[in-house]
């Protein structure tokens, strides 16, 4: 049974400057990244009860300044964001073909690749969190040594009662090989309490024949809650040793599917932090994902997220 020692949630990873479509040959600048998208939405869903922070590294440039200021304005803790004098934030551009998207990245020298270089700072940033969230992208951008430091800190945090959430979010272009991705993700699952994989990723990396196979395989690591996302298809979950299926309501309008999985993660995790049962938390994830796909870019309109804030269970 998952229980949280505190309501503090921290997410670890990379945020980038986002150029999202805003009209014919026009782009709007924002900030996004898988684990940032998740913690931003968690903070908006939790409202006044939120104690959320994002563990990352940015530069000393004007884009980084605007990102940190925007985080603070939206209620996130920025004291755990470190600065790099030699690097800047990465950048990506979204190109749409109908509602499907293609990403173009400039991230090789991103400051976030050094987010785990300072072990004491990493410890201070995450070890008092009740929930710690990260992804396969987080792991893929780190050096081998930095990855080891992060794992050591996560193990310490779990010994102190923290719950670790992990979305494998497989992006093969970030790994040197399929074998490297498998080895690293395999190790991470051994220290995961809540897993939020996407079936298409798992099928491509592991050859899973069905969402059931994905859920059962990940549960075999000792993961307590496994929620398998599958786009517009039903969500599937392994909870308490049983497999469950949750239909996904049809979307009314789809503009851009960027960030849909990240926002589902946010809805589910915020629900669990707020004491909601699994089924209601999954529903909240689906509702939030529906808002995101009706928006250009990875973040839903803040006022619409606030409108989804759940009332306490009775």
As a whole number of angstroms, the distance between CA 229 and CA 314 comes to 28
The number of angstroms, rounded, from the C-alpha of 138 to the middle of its chain's C-alpha atoms is 9
- Average pLDDT on 106-127 reads 95
* Token pair for 143: 């050096």
Quick check: 97 pLDDT over 90?
A: no
Query: Which helix (H) or strand (E) is 262 found in, with range?
Result: helix 260-273
- Average pLDDT on 185-208 reads 98
Q: What are all long-range contacts of 249-254, with beta carbons under 8 Å and residues at least 24 apart?
A: 249/286, 249/290, 251/290, 251/293, 251/294, 252/290, 252/294, 253/293, 253/294, 254/99, 254/293, 254/294
Q: Which of 208, 256, 262, 290 is catalytic?
A: 262
Report percent pLDDT > 90 for the chain. 82
Question: What's the chain's average pLDDT?
Answer: 94
Closest CA to 76 of 51, 48, 41: 51
Exposed, middle or buried, 113 (CB in 10 Å: 0-12/13-18/19+)? buried
Contact between 37 and 28 under an 8 Å Cβ cutoff? The reply is no
Is 208 a known active-site residue?
no
- Average pLDDT on 81-99 reads 88
The predicted structure's pLDDT at residue 21: 81
The predicted structure's pLDDT at residue 20: 82
The predicted structure's pLDDT at residue 60: 96
Contact between 40 and 156 under an 8 Å Cβ cutoff? The reply is no
As a whole number of angstroms, the distance between CA 75 and CA 26 comes to 29
pLDDT digits (tens, 9 = 90+) for 128-141: 889 999 999 999 99
Closest CA to 116 of 95, 137, 143: 143
Q: Give the model's confidence band at 95: pLDDT under 50 very low, under 70 low, under 90 confident, else very high.
A: confident
Residues near 5 by beta carbon (within 8 Å), at least 6 away in sequence: 130, 160, 161, 162
Q: Give the model's confidence band at 257: pLDDT under 50 very low, under 70 low, under 90 confident, else very high.
A: confident
The predicted structure's pLDDT at residue 25: 83
As a whole number of angstroms, the distance between CA 132 and CA 134 comes to 7
The predicted structure's pLDDT at residue 98: 67
0.85 surpassed by pTM: yes
Structural domains present in the chain: 8-306 (3.40.1190.20)
- Average pLDDT on 119-133 reads 94
- Average pLDDT on 101-115 reads 91
Quick check: 176 pLDDT over 80?
A: yes
């Amino acid at each position: 049974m998952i229980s949280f020692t505190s309501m503090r949630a921290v997410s670890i990873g990379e945020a980038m400057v986002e150029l999202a479509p805003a009209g014919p040959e026009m782009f709007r600048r924002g900030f996004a990244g898988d684990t940032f998208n998740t913690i931003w939405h968690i903070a908006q869903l939790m409202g006044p009860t939120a104690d959320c922070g994002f563990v990352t590294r940015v530069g000393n440039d004007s884009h980084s300044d605007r990102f940190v200021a925007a985080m603070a304005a939206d209620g996130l803790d920025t004291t755990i964001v470190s600065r790099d004098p030699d690097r800047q934030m990465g950048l990506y551009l979204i190109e749409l073909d109908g509602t499907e998207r293609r990403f173009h990245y400039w991230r090789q020298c991103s400051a976030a690749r050094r987010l785990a270089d300072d072990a004491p700072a990493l410890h201070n940033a995450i070890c008092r969190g009740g929930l710690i969230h990260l992804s396969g992208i987080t792991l893929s951008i780190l050096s081998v040594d930095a990855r080891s430091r992060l794992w050591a800190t996560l193990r310490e945090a779990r010994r102190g009662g923290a719950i670790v959430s992990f979305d494998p979010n497989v992006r093969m272009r970030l790994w040197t090989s399929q074998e490297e991705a498998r080895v690293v993700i395999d190790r991470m699952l051994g220290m995961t309490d809540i897993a939020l994989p996407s079936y298409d990723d798992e099928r491509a990396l592991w050859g899973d024949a069905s969402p059931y196979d994905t859920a059962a395989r990940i549960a075999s690591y000792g993961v307590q809650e496994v929620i398998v996302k599958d786009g517009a298809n039903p969500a599937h979950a392994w909870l308490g040793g049983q497999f469950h299926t949750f239909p996904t309501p049809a979307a009314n309008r789809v503009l851009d599917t960027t960030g849909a999985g990240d926002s589902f993660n946010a809805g589910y995790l915020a629900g669990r932090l707020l004491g909601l049962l699994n089924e209601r938390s999954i529903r909240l994830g689906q509702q939030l994902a529906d808002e995101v796909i009706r928006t250009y870019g990875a973040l839903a309109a803040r006022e619409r997220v606030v409108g989804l804030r759940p009332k306490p269970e009775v």
